Amino acid sequence: MAAVGSGSPSGHVFRVERARGPVWYAKYRLPDGRQVQKKLGPAWTGRGRPATGYFTKRLAEDWLRDLLHDARRGTLAGQVRTGATFADAATEWLRYVEVDRQRKPSTVDGYNAIVRAQLLPAFGQMPLESITTDAIERWLSSLTGAASSRTKALVLLNGILKRARKVWGLQVNAAAEVEKPALSRSGDVRVFSPEEVWALVRAAASEQDGAIYLTAAFTGLRLGELLALTWRDVDFAGSVVRVRASYAAGVLTTPKSGKVRAVPLAPDVASALALLGRRLHWVGDDDLVFAGEAGGHLDGSALRRRYKEALGRAGLRALRFHDLRHTFGTRMIAKADIRRVQEWMGHADIQTTMRYLHYAPRSEDAQLVAEAFSVGGLERGTSGDELGRLGTSSKTS
């Protein structure tokens, strides 16, 4: 660790060993008392002139010496106060994503919840300039919960400070230097068996709820898409359901992918929907398939509560409502090519669909391995009895 400068401002450079190689950092104190830590770049460990973007100890010290010189002269970028607090920046960013970027109301509601619960308590009244990388790292390490949730909070913080640079001229986005929590992705999804789906349908509190559970599992529609489904979207003659809209947070919007898509209408679902329609006194094309008591959209939260109660009555595992959608994906990947499954489920990225691939039965793969390792008496076609005798003889030899 090497110190540079004396008096105020002051600072030092230091090297951190990372999994991808050593990195040089600078930590310094400005005349107003603010402490800043900045990642300079990867450490040069080779011989000769450092490659572009790499730092030796001397280059790191030179960078810090120049910065401290500007700080003493009062010409350092960022020394001018913006006059805004983090709460101001958060309010502006939420307005920006809702109005300018036109994010869906359900998305904005989710952002609001994270800002209120995790960001404002930690940074709310702090001046933007006083938020440092060190402070953010301490805050991030104090958070509990899944790594994905902590990562989402950090991403929002980064977006807020990035927006503040444009609106208030904030010179440094301290969140940009913070490493995201490591995510462990098993790739596994929890799904129902066909027998469990039917058990859930039988345990539903009403015929309509049963039809919703069946449709969710046999079409893969998201909850918001089910709530927005109209009779115009159900093509009995063509055996298809067209997904045109989604309903969430009291607002009707486009599906998550932003595109209309068509999903096969299985005979069991067609029968359940036809029976549901006949029980209604009158059904118009624009009427909702799954309507609330007053004819409006169903309450999604209340539906989830009834779903959990139905799980209990059926004696099933506590799977999420969304796992009905996963059930469709895992069953269909065994029958159709991945591009068709992607289209049916409305995935913008095929990588999302690929998580279902390990559910596709591929018995021929085992035969390929057997052929690749076929030697001597263990050739293709060796029976289980013969393998058993071979195992017994090897123990007695």
Helix orientation angle between 86-95 and 147-168, rounded to the nearest 10 degrees = 90
Residue type, 57: K
Structural domain boundaries enclosing 122: 86-177
Which of 38, 150, 222, 331 is labelled catalytic?
Answer: 222
What does the pLDDT profile of the chain (397 residues) look like in tens digits? Answer: 555 544 478 999 999 999 889 999 999 988 777 788 899 999 999 989 999 999 999 999 999 999 898 888 766 665 557 789 999 999 999 999 999 998 888 889 999 999 999 999 999 999 998 898 889 999 999 998 888 899 999 999 999 999 999 999 887 899 998 988 876 565 678 899 999 999 999 999 999 999 999 999 999 999 999 999 999 999 999 999 999 999 987 888 888 877 899 999 999 999 999 999 887 655 688 899 999 887 789 999 999 999 999 999 999 999 999 999 999 999 999 889 899 999 999 998 888 888 888 877 777 777 788 788 876 544 445 455 554 554 554 444 4
Query: Could you tell me the CA-to-CA distances from 119 to 109, 123, 174, 180 in Å, in that order?
Result: 15, 6, 14, 16
Q: Are residues 321 and 248 in the same domain?
A: yes
Q: Are residues 249 and 306 in the same domain?
A: yes
Q: Are residues 200 and 349 in the same domain?
A: yes
Total tally of structural domains belonging to the chain: 3
Answer yes or no: 222 catalytic: yes
Q: Are residues 216 and 336 in the same domain?
A: yes
Answer yes or no: 322 catalytic: yes
In a domain, 380, yes or no: no
In a domain, 217, yes or no: yes
Q: Are residues 123 and 94 in the same domain?
A: yes
Place of tokens 């700080």: 71
In a domain, 34, yes or no: yes
- What confidence tens digit (pLDDT) does each residue in 258-305 have? 789 999 999 999 999 999 988 765 568 889 999 988 778 999 999 999
Question: Of 133, 148, 177, which residue constitutes the final position of a domain?
Answer: 177
The dihedral region occupied by 132, where left means phi > 0, alpha psi between -120 and 50, and beta the remainder, is: beta
The answer to whether the peptide bond before residue 105 is cis (omega within 30 degrees of 0) is no
Contact between residue 56 and residue 44 where contact means Cβ atoms under 8 Å apart: yes
Q: Are residues 222 and 327 in the same domain?
A: yes
Across 155-293, the runs of DSSP E, i.e. the strands, are: 234-235, 240-243, 246-248, 251-253, 261-264
Question: Of 73, 101, 132, which residue constitutes the final position of a domain?
Answer: 73
In a domain, 370, yes or no: no
Answer yes or no: 325 catalytic: yes
Residues 6+ away with beta carbon under 8 Å from 360 = 333, 334
In a domain, 364, yes or no: no
Which of 256, 297, 326, 331 is labelled catalytic?
Answer: 256
In a domain, 365, yes or no: no
Query: Could you tell me the CA-to-CA distances from 75 to 59, 80, 98, 270, 335 in Å, in that order?
Result: 21, 9, 36, 72, 66
Q: Are residues 202 and 54 in the same domain?
A: no
Q: Are residues 171 and 299 in the same domain?
A: no
Q: Are residues 34 and 119 in the same domain?
A: no
- pLDDT score at 378: 46
Which residues does residue 15 pair with via DSSP β-bridges, in sequence order? 24
Answer yes or no: 281 catalytic: no
Q: Are residues 212 and 319 in the same domain?
A: yes
Q: Are residues 92 and 69 in the same domain?
A: no
Separation of CA 72 from chain center: 45
In a domain, 382, yes or no: no
Residues 6+ away with beta carbon under 8 Å from 125 = 85, 86, 87
- pLDDT score at 89: 97
- What confidence tens digit (pLDDT) does each residue in 112-139 have? 999 999 999 999 999 998 898 889 999 9
Question: Of 129, 144, 177, which residue constitutes the final position of a domain?
Answer: 177
Q: Are residues 129 and 159 in the same domain?
A: yes
What stretch of H or E contains 41? strand 35-42
- pLDDT score at 258: 79
What stretch of H or E contains 38? strand 35-42
Which of 163, 297, 331, 347 is labelled catalytic?
Answer: 347
In a domain, 386, yes or no: no
Which of 163, 297, 325, 355 is labelled catalytic?
Answer: 325
Answer yes or no: 180 catalytic: no
CATH number at residue 91: 1.10.150.130
Answer yes or no: 306 catalytic: no
CATH number at residue 206: 1.10.443.10
